[in-house]
């Protein structure tokens, strides 16, 4: 990881992802989460304030030590029992069928090998366990899509591997059936990065 990814990107992430409107979306995504939970791409820990009391243990992973350093004071201040590990979503060092829920907020855009990570998420979920996610991705507007494809190489450089042009729902559904999905343009964000996929998928029993 280069100097930009280690030192600049984490501060940019904290600045751009804190506050509204994302806090409202975070609360919605996390509202029903319960039991043993894994969050992938924990970032600077901005979801922590929104986890319900029904969570019995929280394991968080993120490969970037710069974001983990910003997250640590939030972990220390949280009443939840939290384990933090420097892992990638593509290689989850947990036993099969460990978690009741897996959470991802704006991380599926950044994982280099998303197919592998989704297989890992399916593996570590208990049968009947749920994957709740919110993500930006490929719009349904054919006029916007070429811009999302054109700008993705630049976005990947600025935002540590983030893609603007992933069709998130079909990718998730390849590995885990969706039980809910809504797509919409997020309030106050540029459309090119503001087409959101918010859903829950379940691992079949
Ligand atoms: C846009 S940030 C979102 C952070 C956080 N989830 C939030 O909602 O504020 C994407 C995060 O994914 C992490 N990430 C990048 N590649 C990853 C991978 N292969 N596996 C897991 N996390 C990854 C980055 O370090 C970063 O913290």
Answer yes or no: are the C-beta atoms of 101 and 34 closer than 8 Å: yes
**Residue ranges covered by each domain of the chain:** 3-202
In words, the CATH class of domain 3-202 is: alpha beta
pLDDT, tens only, 148-205: 999 999 999 999 999 999 999 999 999 999 999 999 999 889 999 999 999 999 999 9
C-alpha 105 to ligand 1 mean position (Å)? 8
Give the position of tokens 């503001």: 194
Count of CB atoms within 10 A of residue 80's CB? 14
Q: pLDDT tens for residues 93-148?
A: 999 999 999 999 999 999 999 999 999 999 999 999 999 999 999 999 999 999 99
- Sign (positive or negative) of CA dihedral 61, 39, 162, 90: positive
The residue whose CA is least distant from atom 14 of ligand 1 is 41
Return the best residue to mutate from 48, 110, 111 for the ligand 1 pocket (most ligand atoms within 8 A of CB): 110
Contact of 201 with 176, CB cutoff 8 Å = yes
Q: Which protein residues are within 6 Å of ligand 1, measured from CB?
A: 13, 17, 40-41, 43, 46-47, 62-64, 67, 88-90, 105-107, 110-112, 160-161
User: CA–CA separation, 105 vs 37, rounded Å?
Assistant: 14
| 40-79 per-position pLDDT tens digit | 999 999 999 999 999 999 999 999 999 999 999 999 999 9
* 194 contacts 140 by C-beta, under 8 angstroms: no
């Amino acid at each position: 990881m280069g100097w930009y990814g280690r030192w600049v990107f984490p501060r940019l992430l904290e600045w751009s992802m804190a506050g509204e409107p994302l806090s409202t979306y975070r609360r919605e995504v996390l509202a029903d989460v319960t039991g043993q939970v894994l969050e992938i791409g924990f970032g600077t820990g901005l979801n922590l304030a929104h986890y319900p009391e029904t969570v019995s243990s929280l394991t968080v992973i993120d490969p970037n030590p710069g974001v983990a350093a910003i997250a640590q004071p939030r972990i220390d201040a949280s009443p939840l029992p939290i384990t933090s590990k420097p892992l990638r979503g593509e290689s989850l060092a947990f036993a099969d069928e460990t978690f009741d829920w897996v959470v991802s907020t704006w991380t599926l855009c950044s994982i280099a090998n998303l197919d592998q990570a989704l297989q890992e998420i399916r593996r570590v979920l208990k049968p009947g366990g749920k994957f709740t996610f919110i993500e930006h991705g490929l719009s349904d507007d054919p006029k916007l899509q070429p811009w999302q494809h054109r700008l993705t190489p630049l976005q990947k450089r600025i935002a540590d591997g983030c893609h603007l042009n992933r069709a998130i729902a079909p990718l998730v559904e390849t590995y885990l059936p969706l039980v809910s999905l809504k797509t919409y343009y997020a309030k106050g964000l540029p459309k090119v990065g503001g087409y959101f996929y918010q859903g829950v998928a379940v691992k079949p029993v």
